[in-house]
Structure formats: structure tokens, C-alpha cells
Structure 1
């Protein structure tokens, strides 16, 4: 096996697949990175058996030559050393060669490294996904779906199903939902391939966070498909495979209140900054609880207090307010996360009383929804 490659391209691919490699894996060969060399290009693979990432570098693309002097073959290299070596090589190109004894030579300029490789035959085969039931989304839309929901997954392993994001496609609408049973985040978007028989699945939040880091902000499509307990996200030159969580996701639509008693419209950033300031002194039972009181005349008062430290109180004028007067307490962290996820200038907040969940959504009714359970402090 042998090839010469542009170092920058190699580094970019290595960084992507490293996100799937863990030193704590029970399968020793998975601490390595698989390199597969074919005449048309090179594929790097990393996996920790929960997530697998394949990054492909075409030998030639858009008239540019990325890889040359190719002799086909494959090898597994120690991921602990290989990335650092490539990153610190002196020249713009790297020559990598492996002999039949799995000895690997890496050359660049006058630097030469010799590494012991492992047999690629021993590397677990990734499941080959049948892509009959698949649909496509623009990459930037997928990224915003992840960003607007994944923060609300549970970090507690007591209910493993809640550590994932529920993805379902029904009647041409794709919905991402996450909840940790104290809050809920969901977003719905229309999908053109609406005839797809796509099963409803739960993808680990950790997998989606890693996927979000790797994907570029482009409008290029990502193809999403599911098969026996795995989901595949296929982007240009990149395959991202994740296991799915077992079990039934709770029916979350029941949590969403049908009607509201108090509704206010506010500037997202202003509300966010006020709650952020109030949370500085809101260390009650470590929940960072802040209180919101309506004052009439479109004024609301936000307070935070910590008996040992002090109190903070701030009034803000909202765009409009209707309905009953209200005093409610909630986690400032949850509220800040929810407001950050709504990428619109104005929000609509709907309350149904001091002890009922309340809803935050964009004022323009875009189907992004954040729900938070209040905290009892009175």
C-alpha cells in the first residue's frame, strides 16, 4: 500500500474520524484508524461501536489532484500517534507506505516516521445500509434542527431513551423532539420526499452533537436512512453512522398545553440578557431559579435571589402582554437554553398558571417549540 497526499486534506479527514475514536473501547483495534487505499481515493474510518465515521478523500476532485502514486491496500494505524505526526510534518505533502509486515513509513520533507500498523482485516465491518427508506435535508437545516433540540436531552442514564432525540417523519413533516422530563424542545420542518416509509427513531444526543461538529454550514444535501438499529447520515465525502436507542419514546404531545392564560411577546435578546443577569444571584437550591412577575402596562419584573449573596431585580418592557396576572419561578438555565435555540428576534411566551408548563416559540409561529416546567418556590 502506498500513496502521496496533500497534508491539509489528510488532516481535515483525520479530525473528522477522530470524533468517533475512543481510547476506552473494549475492542482494542477500535483505538486505531483504518485507512483504505483505492485508485479512486482514500477512505479513513473511525469507530467506537456507538458511532462510526468514514471520511473519503477523492484522488481527484474539481480538477485538483489530492492523492497520487496510489498502490491499493489497507492498514489500521494507532490513532493516539498518527494525527499528531501528520499535524507536525514539515511539508505540504505526505507519503505513506505500508509493507506486507504491516510496517508503515510516513515521509514528509526530511522527516521519516516508522509505525507498526495492524491488519485491516481484523477491523469490524461497518453495517452496509440499504437506502430504500431515506430522505434528504440541506446540511444547514439539519444542523439547526440538531442545535434547537439536542440540548434538552437527559444526561441521566436512569431513563436511557431520554438521552436521545426522537426523529419522526409523518405526512411530509419531519419532527425532532428532545426532553429530559423537566423541559422539552421540538422543531418541525416539511420534507419533500414525503412518500418515504421512515421509521420513528431515537438517536443518542451524543451522536448528534458530534455530527453537528463535523458537518459544514452548506446547503448541500445530507441523505438520512435507517436500518436495523443504525442511522446513517451521508454527506459529500462523509458517512456518519450511529446506533439507535432501544425502547419507546414517551408521547410528548400530551405535555403541551392546549390553551394559555397569560401571553407575552418580547424581544428575544432583551429577555435572554435580563434572565442571564438575574441568574447571577439566583443560586437557590443550585437550580438557578429566577422569578417572573407581571406588572401591568406591558412591564414584567425578573428577580433572582440567594439568601447568602443578595438579590437582583430588573424590569423590562415587553412588546405586548395579555391575559391574567402571573407570578412564576423557573430554572434560568433552561430558559436561557430555550431562548438561545430560537433564532428569531421576537418570542411569544404562553403561560397556563404558576404551576403548569409554559411554552416559548418564535413570534412568527415558526414550528419551533420550547416547553419548560416551572419550579415551586412559594
Structure 2
């Protein structure tokens, strides 16, 4: 079944096409030789986040995933949409326009959501690493004394119990490395098989499942790095406040960004979901209006600012917009709107001192 959606007056698009665009953007960013903080690459990263958010909202709106669903019940065409959170985590981790701690918090949410979802579909049995990012998110900050104590405490020789834990961790890392290599080899084989026009659906299904498993291993590695970096930066911030480290320029506090997660229930119940009750709910219409306000999506009410837009929308729509503008003007004049009166007075004064044609000096001798 082909999943087709229309969003806020835009032309119909398939979810598969949207998702393919997201994968292509990820490949372009991954293979780019530009520095991460370059404006050109950051524009592409923001574009990737934009497209992934649109796809995530549409996946939720169309009910691609449902509660208590098993992997066998999931259609082959829907398996790849499990990758939406991990792709959002990838792009979010590369943002340089917001505070780094906030970047790490966002990436942490996306990576954990992806792994939790894969565990629900029994695509992995990996355990999530323990971290204090969520704790810091709910409590605004970890106790400074606790962080400073951890940063400054010197450890002696590890105890036998600690050595045992370290040995288990080393074995787990070795096992995961072998699994990761086997999954990568298997994915390469399936990709070659897909090049054959006569491939069956089982081959395609195995390809998508193997791709998801590959991203599970990558997201576990990224999650470990995110947690370690977040912990280090948090400790450095506290030490700067205590005067233990030189303070850099004062960073402006940004509004926390709310990650967009896939829902497994009806879209009108929850857009932000999957075990994060602290994130507010909103409808798709409210979400789109907010994105328009933030400048991510185009404002449909401001599409008549140029002749090209008027031509695209047709003469009837353009005429209605002009009539609406005239009505608003008349209402303002009837109500003696002070702002409108001031603008008209200013315009009259300017015209008195600037005769028409004075500015046109082209080809004038």
C-alpha cells in the first residue's frame, strides 16, 4: 500500500519519497568535506531536520505504527520508518546554532527513543547505558557539589568487583563489534541482491531489517559518546562557576527544543510520545502553525508577495487577497488607527520633499 499524505495545502507526496530525501541528505552530509560549522553544511543539516520532522509527523498522522504491534505484523514498506529517530539524532548532534549541552540532550532523546522502539519490536536486546542527562533535564541541573566531587575525587586501584565489571564490559564491546561487522557484511550482500530486478519481497524486508540493526549498533556507540561529552561539559560548567576553570564568554540561555517523536497511537492524542510525558502534546495543525511561526515552514497567508506566487495560485486567489487587503485598509481608516494614520502622514511628508522621477538618474546628462 502506498502511503500518500497532504500537509497544509502542499501537493500530495509519498512518505517513501520524503524518507528517501532524508536518506539522501544524510549521505550528502556524511560525505561532505566541509567543516561541520560551515554555513553551507548547517543549512543542509537544518534541511534534513526539517524533512525528517515532516515525515515523522505524517507517519504519526497516518498511523503507520500501532500499539502492541509485532515485527511480523509490520508491513515491509513501514520498517524503514523506524529509522526516523536515529536520523534525527544524527542531524541534531551536528547542529552548531544552539548550546552544545542542548544539542547533546536532544540527540540523547532521539537515540534512546530509537533503541527503545527497536527493543519493542525485538530487533535488539541491547541495554540502554545509564546516564544523567534526563535527570539533569528534569531537575534543571545536577547538584554542583555532586559533580565537583566526582570530577575531583582520585580513585585508587580498582576493587575485584570493579575488575569483574570491566571484564564484562570488555567482552560486551568485543561481542558488539563482531555483531556490527557481521551486520555490515550482511547488508552489503542484500544491497547487491536488490540490484537484481527479480528480487522478491523477502529480500527487501531482510534488507530493511538489517539496515535497522546496523543503525542500532551505530546509535549505541553515538549514545555512549553523547553521554560522556555531556558529563564532561556539565562538570566543566560547574567548575567554571566555582572558579576552578577560566570562564569563557557568557552563553545566552536558549529555549529548550522539544524533540518530535513517532507516536504509536492516534495523532490527536499525542504528537510527542513514547515515554516522555514531560513533553507537551499538540495537534498536527498546532505543530504546523508553530513551525510557520519559527520560520521552518512557509506561511500560506504570505504567499502573495510576488508575481510568481500570484501566478501559481491563480487570478481568483490573488483577487481575493487584494480585496481582503483593501478591506483591512478601510477598517483601519474607519477606526482611525493611530499606526495607520502615522504611516500615511509620514508617506505624505516624504512625497512632498521627493518629487516623482528624482531618483531616476539613469542615462541622464
Give 1 or 2: higher helix fraction: 2
Q: TM-score, normalised by structure 2?
A: 0.25
Q: TM-score, normalised by structure 1?
A: 0.25
Give 1 or 2: higher strand fraction: 1
Task: Identify the structure with bigger relative contact order (alpha carbons < 8 Å, sequence gap 6+).
Answer: 2
